[in-house]
Structures are given as C-alpha cells and as structure tokens.
C-alpha cells in the first residue's frame, strides 16, 4: 500500500458568513467520512490548517525573506490535508472522489507521499 495526501483547497472566503450550525453540518460530513475511511483501513490522518495568513520563506542573495501569505490575492488556499493508503493512484483517486470536500468546495489534489528510507 502507498500513502497519498489529499490536499484540500478552497476559496479564502469560503466559510465566511456561515452560521455555526451550517459550519458544524459540514464538519459532521468530514467526521463521518474519516470514520468510514478508518473502518475501511485506508485513513492515516489529517488536519485542518489554521485560518488566516501563513508565512512564505524565500531565499535571496541577501539571506532569507519572510512574508505573510497574501490570502486576499489567492484564488484558492490550502485549507488542510488528509492522508490515505491505497494500492495505486487510481485507487487513491477513487477514494478521493468520495471525500466530502468535493461536495463543500471546488476540488482537491491527490499526491503520492514519497517514502525516504
């Protein structure tokens, strides 16, 4: 089995203006999905990233520069990730198609984790 990351992208303002009840309904969908994936033996883990800007570090001739992520300028932000196990990319994509992120947002990216031994 290989490990794959589901990179959960969304618009920066996707959850603004949602009532707490509406937001919790979305969260319940994710919880139910992760419980099913755990029962199926494919869910490894995952996390929601904190809202708000992150930091981007870039190396320059003068050293390292640190900038806040310009969320307002981005069409999508990485809002979190989930790790799953699957036999190959096709199987990982089939699992990803069932993720509630595709119901509540525009898309996600599937990437294989390269294990370094």
Rounded Cα distance between 47 and 82, Å, is 7
Closest Cα partner for 86 from 113, 108, 117, 105? 113
Q: CATH number of the domain at 2-112, out of 3.30.70.1060, 3.40.50.2000, 3.40.50.720, 3.65.10.10? A: 3.30.70.1060
Taking the complete model, does pTM exceed 0.95, yes or no?
A: no
| Domains in the chain: boundaries | 2-112
Closest Cα partner for 6 from 51, 56, 53, 43? 43
Contacts of 38 (CB under 8 A, 6+ apart): none
Rounded Cα distance between 102 and 93, Å, is 12
pLDDT by residue, tens only, the chain of 117 residues? 999 999 999 887 888 888 999 999 999 999 999 999 999 999 999 999 888 788 989 999 989 999 987 776 777 888 899 999 999 999 999 999 999 999 998 789 999 999 887
């Amino acid at each position: 089995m290989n490990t794959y990351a589901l990179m959960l992208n969304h618009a920066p303002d996707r959850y603004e203006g949602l009532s707490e009840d509406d937001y919790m309904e979305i969260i319940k969908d994710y919880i139910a999905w992760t419980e099913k994936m755990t029962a199926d033996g494919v869910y490894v883990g995952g996390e929601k990233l904190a809202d708000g800007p992150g930091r981007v570090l870039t190396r320059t001739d003068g050293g390292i520069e640190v900038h806040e992520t310009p969320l307002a300028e981005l069409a999508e932000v990485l809002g979190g990730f989930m790790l799953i196990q699957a036999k190959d990319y096709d199987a990982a994509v089939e699992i990803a198609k069932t993720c509630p992120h595709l119901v509540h947002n525009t898309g996600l990216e599937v990437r294989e984790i390269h294990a370094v031994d």
